Amino acid sequence: MANDEIAKLIKAQEELSRKIQEARLKHRDAGIQMIKETMSELGITAEMLGFYAVSTVPASTKKQHKTFPAKRVFGHVEPKYRDPKTGSTWSGRGKPPRWLGDNKDEFLIKDKAA
């Protein structure tokens, strides 16, 4: 008799879990729809919020793999530092070259026209 009671309680728990999940999905879908409508009314795009486009190729035409956000493209930056011995330059972005050492001021390009 105790086993039957436990089995009924487990079944009731599973049913409640299913109903909770359905309610969450319904609430989430309503929230998504409200956000889309508000964004449309205000002219807000996903990019304005910091989201980037993902591949729009239909899933059936591409291999099964994860989609990643589009890469951000950064503009060209003029060099800020120059090695007088080799003429090598560094813009200040990324890992500093070995020739730069600890004293950056020594290699700073003072005339931007050069």
pLDDT band of 101, cuts 50, 70, 90 = confident
Pairing of strands 81-82, 89-90: antiparallel
Mean pLDDT score of the chain? 84
Summarize the confidence of residues 32-52 as an average pLDDT: 87
DSSP structural state of residue 100: G
**31 to 21, 25, 34, 101: CA distances (angstroms):** 15, 10, 5, 54
pLDDT band of 114, cuts 50, 70, 90 = very low
Q: Report d(CA 90, CA 109) in Å as an integer.
A: 10
Q: Where are the domains of the chain?
A: 2-61, 74-114
Q: Report d(CA 25, CA 19) in Å as an integer.
A: 10
Q: Which residues lie below 8 Å from residue 46, measured CB to CB, with a gap of 6+?
A: 52, 53
pTM for the complete prediction? 0.36
Q: What is the pLDDT of residue 49?
A: 84
